[in-house]
Amino acid sequence: MSDLDHTPEQAAREAGLREVSEALLNIEQAIKRTERAKRTAAMTVGCDDLARMLDTAARNLEIARKDLFQGAYFSADSPKLF
């Protein structure tokens, strides 16, 4: 099926999923940065609270990533592209 054969709804959904993909990539990069910062903070004297906050942030980002992925690609009420 070419781009010309897509209905407006299909085209809009595909555009939305491209945005979701970009958002997921950004979240994954944020998780990596947070983990890196957590390791650095954990090695620094007096930064235990910061390391704990970064750990919490990484966990929350992972939850957000998982929720977005599952909601976008495996939602029961959303049509699948394939």
Per-residue pLDDT, 52: 95
Per-residue pLDDT, 82: 41
Instruction: Determine the Cα angle at 22 with ends 40 and 30, to 5°.
Output: 10
Instruction: Give the number of residues written for the chain.
Output: 82
User: Which of the four pLDDT bands, split at 50, 70 and 90, describes residue 76?
Assistant: low
Report d(CA 33, CA 78) in Å as an integer. 32
Report d(CA 47, CA 55) in Å as an integer. 12
**Least confidently predicted of 9-18, 25-34, 57-66:** 9-18
Whether the pTM exceeds 0.85: the reply is: no
The arithmetic mean of pLDDT across residues 30-41, rounded, is 96
Report d(CA 60, CA 46) in Å as an integer. 24
pLDDT in tens, 50-75: 999 999 999 999 999 999 999 998 87
Per-residue pLDDT, 60: 98
Q: Are 58 and 38 in contact (CB under 8 A)?
A: yes
